[in-house]
Each structure stands twice: as structure tokens, then as C-alpha cells.
Structure 1
């Protein structure tokens, strides 16, 4: 699924990375604990989270995650957005809660990312 479809499904605003919205995602990983994100290693994963700080961008960078959806209407500060821009990470924002966002994406065909030890 491409990121434009994700944006449409979640009624999301593009906060950063308009030029990369044709990128594809195959799986979704949703959490607010960034140490959990480090436990998986799938390609083309979309991170869905309510945590909006530079640590999220650094974690995404380490894990080669190219797109993040911030939920609950949360908007990151300029420092976080600038860090995302520097790293080529698409940032979307939705008013949906985490559970609803994941349900919409799952119903539309995106599966959950698997933990590395599974």
C-alpha cells in the first residue's frame, strides 16, 4: 500500500515528506515504547505512535522506517519535524486513536510487523 492510501484511509495530514508519498509500506508496527520498535526488522514498515519527540525519529532512522503516523491529533515540534526531513522520513498526523488507526489499516490489508524473535 502506498502512503497516499494510508493518508486517505486515516484522514491524515502530511506534516513532512510530501515528496515521498508514493512510497510503499507492507506492514505496520504500533507502539509508544521505542525500545519495542528495536525488536523487529521488517522492510517497508509504517510506525504508528502517539509519542512525538526526536527519539521516535532516531529510532525510525536506526530501523530504516521511512514513514510514521502520529495519532490522537498530536503534532511534533519543529526540531522533530526537521530531524524527520533530514532523514527523509514521511510524517503523517491523524486525529484517530492508535487502536482505530491500526484497525483501519488492518481492515485495508496491512498486516502487523513480526517481532524478530518470532
Structure 2
């Protein structure tokens, strides 16, 4: 699924790297506020949905080769978090939806969860 479609489905605001929306595709996503769980159990995810609005979310996405972080519940990260994501070519969005609704909306739109190890 192209990130432009993710933005549309989630009614999301793009906070950085909007130039990549039509270029990048993701095949799976995960939702978590615990970055330790993402690091320990998630594999082959293209996108992270989280309510954790600090640099740790971006660093985790970078380590896991994720191309997009979506902050749920209308949360907005500070400028330093957005700058870090911009530097790493990670698309950052904010959706007004809850984690449950955002994940369900993406699933209904054709995006699946990935492998958990």
C-alpha cells in the first residue's frame, strides 16, 4: 500500500517527508506504544503506529527499517523528533484515530499485520 493511501485512509496530517508518499509502499504494519516489544517481537513491518511521541519511536523505526511512523490519537511530536525523522527519510504522520481504529482501518483497506517472532 502506498503511503499516500495510508494518509487518505487515516485522514492523517503529514509532518515530514511528504515527497515520499507516492514513492514508498508498505506491506505490513504494527501498532505498539512499547518500543521494547517492537524491537523484540516485530519483523518485516513497513510502518509503526504508536502514541509514543519521542525520538525513541523514530530510532526504533530506523533500527527496524520501517519507512513510516504514524502517531495516533492526534498526538504531535516536538520539532526535534520531526527533524530526526526528516533526516532519516522516515515519513511521519499524525492521525486523529485511536490505535484500535487506525489499525482496523488499515486492515480493512488491505494492509495486513506482519510476522511476530
TM-score (norm. length: structure 2): 0.95
Compute the displacement of 1:41 (Å): 2.1
In the alignment, structure 1 residue 4 sits paired with structure 2 residue 29 = no
Provide the residue aligned with 1:60 in structure 2. 61
Measure, in 2, the Cα distance between the counterparts of 1:66 and 1:111: 16
Measure, in 1, the Cα distance between the counterparts of 2:60 and 2:29: 15
Measure, in 2, the Cα distance between the counterparts of 1:21 and 1:73: 20
Compute the displacement of 1:64 (Å): 0.5
Compute the displacement of 1:16 (Å): 0.7
Structure 1 residue ranges, 4+ long, deviating more than 4 angstroms after superposition: none
Provide the residue aligned with 2:29 in structure 1. 28
Provide the residue aligned with 1:19 in structure 2. 19
Question: Can you give the 5+ residue segments of structure 1 that lack an aligned partner in the other structure?
Answer: none
Query: Number of aligned pairs?
Result: 115
Measure, in 2, the Cα distance between the counterparts of 1:93 and 1:103: 16
- Note the alpha carbon deviations across 1:68-114, whole angstroms, 9 max, x for none: 11010100001100100110000011100000000100011111121
Question: Can you give the 5+ residue segments of structure 2 that lack an aligned partner in the other structure?
Answer: none
Compute the displacement of 1:19 (Å): 1.1
Provide the residue aligned with 1:77 in structure 2. 78
TM-score (norm. length: structure 1): 0.94
